[in-house]
Structure 1
Amino acid sequence: MKPLRVLVTDAETTKALAIVRALGPTTEVWTASHSPAALAAWSRFVRKHLVHPRDALGTYAGWVLDACRRHRIDGVIAPEEKSSFLLAGHRDAFQAENILLAVPELRVLEKAIDKARTIEIARQCGVRTPATRIVDERRQVIPAARELGYPVVIKPRHSQYWTGSCFIPTDGVRYATSERELTHALASLPDRIPAPLVQRFVPGRGVGICVLLGHDGSPCAEFAHERLRDLRPTGSGSVLRRSIAVDEELREASLRLLREMGWWGVAMVEFRVDESDGRWYLMEINGRFWGSLQLAIDAGVNFPRLLLDVMRGETVAPPPYQTGVVLRWWLGDLVRALHILQGRPEGFTGCYPGRLSWIKELFGRQPPGTLNQVLRWNDPWPALGEIVSLAWR
């Protein structure tokens, strides 16, 4: 049987590299990016790399579809939120060409992209969230914070807000312990985005529940990890993480929420566990592949391969995986060091590492058996490519 020819977009990302390596032994993998020096393109498993215009967002889906036609691509995997969003609105065009598209319907995807809609759906199906106020205008934020009580988190509704012609990055959450800090946080938000959410701050550790659902909502794969070090010490994607067993309660909450949305495909549901009482709270849904995807693959869950099987209508059963596997993203650890040196952000009341802790984190002993996310001796060139592609940006 002829192997599938699959196009992986966003080749400048580490998750694209993980997908390429996971599919490469059994699939003909092509990559695409705005950068000719994109990270994943350095992998020995890539047959050919395609370069698209950097800022032509309005024609992006058309470019991908045309590339699929010209090169006889069988399926497309878009690891990033922006590319998923741009392609989801053109699912019918891809289906008409019999091209598999690993993206949910746009109406479903938008429920995960908009954090306010995610919170509303979680409330409807009984998934615990931090105390949250959803407001229509920015002038309502300060009264909402007074009602919740400080400290509060100011969370933009979108990571990247689509205006209809461009994406506006919102640069993550802000924190405030007083009205003065809140006013400063609001002033730092971009002007053209919707009013943010206001949430009561929840201290604790992050846990990610990663799943692959079939078109009928059945679980086809699952995986869980805990964050040992975050890129941003206030909370973000991780640079050091460990595979753990899936908590039964978090699994049930994740499946309930995703099924309520009508989800299929891959997603990571993020929770924060309050270490003072062990209660968990929903943070958000990443309706795409996650940055620590390589950890799941190393532990035994080949999500990209299983996703292709689901897209082709095959029956997929959740495979077992190994707990205690640790994965480190070295370059991410270096970026974390820069965040630490900048000091504690205004309004953040959680635990924050000391200014010299980065030395031990970066150069000290890591947990036994720690794997490197990018450097692999059977595919070494991406380690060099990561540095080159970073400089290219």
Structure 2
Amino acid sequence: MKDAQDKIIILGTDTQIGLSLIRELGRRHCHVVAIGRSRGSIGLRSRYAREGFLWPGGDETQQIEFLNRVARITGARFLLCVSETDILFLNRCRDRLEGLTPLIPSQTMINRVLDKQGTACVAAQVGILSPESHTIGDLTELSNLAPSLSYPVILKWSNPHAVMQDSQRQGLVIEKIIYCHNAGELAEQLGRYKPLGRFPMIQAYCPGYGLGQFFFMHRGKALLRFQHKRIHEWPPEGGFSSLCAGVPLDQHPALQQKSIALLRKLDWEGPAMVEYRYDEHNDRAVLMEINGRFWGSLPLAYHSNAPFGWYSYQVLGLGQVPATLDPIRDDIQCRNTLIELKRLFRILFQPHKIKDKSLRFSPFKEVMSFIGGYFNPRMRYYIFSLSDPKPLLADWAAMARKLMRR
């Protein structure tokens, strides 16, 4: 393990996801080449980033030329990336890369998981529940549908990437989820997308907390697995985790097997997150989506010794399964402090903005929970690390610049 490993480019080092990949591979003596989209990129400040570059503007041809130039300069053979947008870009341009292998899902694979309706159909074949969903092609269909729905309902795009460019031309924002509490709100929200001529799915609301199951799949086998629960989310009514905790693998074993069966059905290779909404009162898990990329809470997996980036390099890059692995911990919690503060501010001072009106919070308990986290010996952080402090300083500096521009 002490021998020098390959040189690996990581594209997208501006978030905690890219930073975790840098730390994970750097600690295993890989020569990490970080590419950030701004000078304030937190990954570029990591001690484990041996070389750093700024992503250029321009068109795809110029960007591919940039990647090929970085590969020639550094001698990097492999490329990992973070976002679905970059995965789609690299798949479009894969045959124009010179001596550089992107360790990403194929276009066929990523298309399968981006299609939420198609994923739900495959999930049903292996016994996984999905939210009741409806689609409309025109607003006139809503008059018959709306009275029969149980509110609140959720609006979610089946494949947001398929409408992203058209929505930008129309000046429309594609939101991850939209809550609608009655037929009037539903009609108002869907009406925003009339100029687009396409509409998001209408989904039943699913109570519970976020449960994520993570797998590294290779030839139909789960070589690595991990799971967590979302303790806090931003926004508070649901979105992405701001505080999460590992869950022992002896919990939800039947659901894990169904998740693996689903990924097999999709012919998945590499890392994936199967995300559920879990109602512990009824022991009911409902599939939300599959993330066919590295996920936002990857820092928890990193701190828990579940090395999904390392497996991507070893298995997808070198064609070998790691011989040894440190024990994976299931007792770690991990939080994004700035997002937790944002969440706390919303609960204390802007409770009217919380869209799920069924949620109840105790301001006192929330404050004490936030403070108590600093004294929890099992608490880790998305960005802060005593052994690698500069990314946090870069994050603070970026936040200060945003505040000064207001």
Q: Is the 8 A contact 1:266 1:289 kept in 2?
A: yes
Distance 1:123 1:236 in 2: 24
Report the Cα offset of residue 13 of structure 1. 0.5
Change (3 A) 1:332 1:144: same
C-alpha offsets along residues 312-351 of structure 1, whole Å, 9 cap, x if unaligned?
1102479541212111211121232344343345762442
Distance 2:121 2:294 in 1: 23
Q: Is the 8 A contact 1:34 1:52 kept in 2?
A: yes
Q: Is the 8 A contact 2:15 2:43 kept in 1?
A: yes
C-alpha offsets along residues 227-252 of structure 1, whole Å, 9 cap, x if unaligned?
11112111121111111123212211
Q: Is the 8 A contact 2:180 2:186 kept in 1?
A: yes
Aligned to 2:359: 351
Report the Cα offset of residue 117 of structure 1. 2.6
Change (3 A) 1:14 1:359: same
Aligned equivalent of 1:208, options 206, 212, 224: 212
TM-score by length of 1: 0.89
Distance 2:332 2:383 in 1: 15
Change (3 A) 1:9 1:169: farther
Change (3 A) 1:5 1:365: closer
Change (3 A) 1:204 1:35: same
Aligned to 1:378: 387
Q: Is the 8 A contact 1:151 1:349 kept in 2?
A: no
Aligned to 1:163: 165
Change (3 A) 1:190 1:254: farther
C-alpha offsets along residues 170-217 of structure 1, whole Å, 9 cap, x if unaligned?
122111221112123224559548421111111111100011112x22
Change (3 A) 1:241 1:44: same
Change (3 A) 1:106 1:346: same
Distance 2:123 2:139 in 1: 23
More helix by share: 2
Aligned equivalent of 1:39, options 23, 31, 42: 42
Sequence identity (%): 25
Aligned equivalent of 1:30, options 26, 30, 33: 33
Q: Is the 8 A contact 2:311 2:321 kept in 1?
A: no
C-alpha offsets along residues 61-110 of structure 1, whole Å, 9 cap, x if unaligned?
4543443244322111111121112112233334xx34221211112102
Please, which moves more after superposition, 284-293 or 55-64?
55-64
Aligned to 2:278: 273
Q: How does 1:9-28 map to 2 (within 5 A)?
A: 9-25=11-27, 26-28=29-31
Distance 1:62 1:111 in 2: 29
Please, which moves more after superposition, 282-291 or 118-127?
118-127
Q: What secondary structure sits across from 1:163 in the alignment?
A: helix
Aligned to 1:177: 181
Aligned to 1:308: 313
Distance 1:346 1:27 in 2: 44
Q: Is the 8 A contact 2:270 2:312 kept in 1?
A: yes
Q: Is the 8 A contact 2:166 2:196 kept in 1?
A: no
Distance 2:269 2:394 in 1: 33
Please, which moves more after superposition, 277-286 or 366-375?
366-375
Change (3 A) 1:321 1:188: farther
Distance 1:123 1:274 in 2: 19
What is the identity, as a one-letter code, of the residue corresponding to 1:332? I
Computing the radius of gyration from Cα coordinates, the structure with the larger value is 2
Aligned to 1:104: 105
Distance 1:368 1:209 in 2: 24
Where does the alignment leave 5 or more consecutive residues of structure 1 unmatched? none
- Structure 2 residue 77 is matched with structure 1 residue 74: yes
Q: What secondary structure sits across from 1:313 in the alignment?
A: coil
Q: What secondary structure sits across from 1:92 in the alignment?
A: helix
Q: Is the 8 A contact 2:56 2:66 kept in 1?
A: no
Aligned equivalent of 1:259, options 240, 252, 264: 264
- What is the root-mean-square deviation of aligned Cα atoms in Å? 2.8
Please, which moves more after superposition, 373-382 or 180-189?
180-189
Aligned to 1:219: 222
Distance 2:379 2:7 in 1: 33
Q: Is the 8 A contact 2:4 2:31 kept in 1?
A: no
Where does the alignment leave 5 or more consecutive residues of structure 2 unmatched? none
Q: What secondary structure sits across from 1:91 in the alignment?
A: helix
Number of residue equivalences: 390
Q: What secondary structure sits across from 1:304 in the alignment?
A: helix
Distance 1:197 1:268 in 2: 21
Change (3 A) 1:205 1:383: same
Report the Cα offset of residue 388 of structure 1. 2.2
